[in-house]
């Protein structure tokens, strides 16, 4: 299979996003002003090129496959950000400058790898990116869009959910040596915990662990102990070094 993208890849990805959002070829066609048959053909071409099925065709509905979910997670935020930026440029408000504010960890791990493709597609954009931790105020400074980690509630701003995160505990294998098995939440009492003090805007220091344990039905486990850091990447490096169990994201 060729690894180079076909010339119509952006068209096919746009069709994929419409189908993924509606889970309907018909409604996707209505959104894009093309026929249902054209939608089906574009999805088939994309699936054939990827070598994987993106949707399960059920009797009365569509369902994303695991491959489809991964593709949606990868491309949906990028196209949403591009649409927002281009929409503002076309409105004449920015004169070619797009000022973006986001978190350092998100910038380094998610946004930076995608910037070359964005700039190649829109060379007229003068991009200005500021990395700020989660303690900064959205009212401070000037920017055109902010990519933030929160519940999506931003009074006075228009907000769009770009992606959902999954949080889960991680540790170095060396941390497990000589300790009781780490088989469940109750076993965490035998291990030091690592905390990102500024996990998201306005979060208390232990918020990640408390949210995770509540989600798995173990809110009674005591997590207000251990080591605290104000950067996610530092917390992860300490976990790799065997200092304790941390909460990771993907």
Q: Is 176 found in the same domain as 240? A: yes
Please give the pLDDT value at position 127. 86
pTM: 0.51
Based on the domain organization, do 174 and 134 belong to the same domain? no
pLDDT in tens for each of the 250 residues of the chain? 444 456 688 889 989 998 998 889 998 888 888 999 999 999 999 999 999 999 998 887 889 999 999 998 888 887 777 777 776 666 554 447 888 888 777 788 778 888 887 787 777 788 888 887 655 566 555 777 888 777 666 666 677 777 777 889 999 999 999 999 999 999 999 999 999 887 776 678 888 899 899 989 998 989 999 999 988 888 999 999 999 999 998 7
CA-to-CA distance for 87 and 114, rounded, in angstroms? Answer: 19
Same domain for 186 and 245? yes
Distance CA 207, CA 42 (A): 43
Q: Is 158 part of a structural domain of the chain?
A: no
d(C-alpha 15, C-alpha 23), whole Å: 11
Of the residues 64, 86, 102, the one at which a domain ends: 64
The answer as to whether 4 is a domain residue is no
Outline where DSSP puts E strands in the chain.
55-57, 62-64, 97-102, 126-131, 145-147, 167-170, 194-196, 227-229, 246-249
> Do residue 110 and residue 142 come from a single domain?
yes
CATH classification at residue 55: 1.10.10.10
Indicate if 59 and 92 belong to the same structural domain: no
Residue 99 is part of which domain span?
A: 75-147
Chain segment 8-34, per-residue pLDDT in tens: 888 899 899 989 988 899 988 888 889
Average pLDDT, the chain: 83
CATH number of the domain that residue 201 is part of: 3.40.190.10
The residue out of 119, 147, 175 marking a domain boundary is 147
Whether residues 117 and 183 fall in one domain: no
Looking at the fold, whether 59 and 113 belong to one and the same domain comes out as no
Look at the chain and report how many structural domains it folds into.
3
**80 and 60 both lie in a single domain:** no
Reported as a single tens digit per residue, the pLDDT across 32-55 is 889 999 999 999 999 999 999 999
The answer to whether residues 245 and 172 belong to one domain is: yes
Do 172 and 216 lie in one domain? The reply is yes
- Report in angstroms the alpha-carbon separations of 146 from 77, 142, 154, 160, 209: 13, 10, 11, 11, 26
């Amino acid at each position: 299979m060729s690894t180079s993208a076909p010339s119509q890849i952006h068209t096919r990805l746009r069709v994929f996003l419409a189908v993924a959002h509606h889970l309907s070829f018909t409604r996707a066609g209505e959104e894009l002003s093309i026929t249902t048959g054209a939608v089906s053909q574009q999805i088939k071409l994309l699936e054939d090129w990827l070598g994987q099925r993106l949707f399960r065709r059920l009797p009365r509905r569509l369902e994303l496959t695991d491959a489809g979910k991964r593709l949606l997670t990868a491309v949906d935020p990028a196209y949403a950000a591009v649409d927002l930026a281009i929409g503002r440029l076309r409105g004449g408000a920015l004169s070619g400058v797009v000022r973006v504010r986001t978190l350092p960890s998100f910038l380094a791990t998610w946004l930076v790898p995608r910037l070359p493709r964005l700039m190649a597609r829109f060379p007229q954009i003068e991009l200005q990116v500021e990395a700020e931790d989660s303690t900064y105020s959205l009212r401070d400074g000037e920017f055109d869009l902010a990519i933030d980690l929160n519940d999506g509630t931003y009074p006075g701003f228009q907000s769009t959910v770009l992606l959902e995160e999954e949080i889960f505990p991680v540790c170095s294998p060396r941390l497990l040596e000589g300790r009781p098995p780490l088989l469940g939440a109750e076993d965490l009492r035998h291990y030091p915990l690592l905390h990102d003090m500024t996990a998201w805007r306005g979060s208390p220091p232990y918020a990640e662990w408390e949210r995770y344990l509540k989600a798995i039905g173990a809110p009674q486990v005591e997590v207000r102990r251990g080591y605290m850091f104000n950067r996610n990447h530092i917390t992860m490096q300490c976990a790799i070094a065997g200092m304790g169990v941390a909460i990771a994201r993907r």
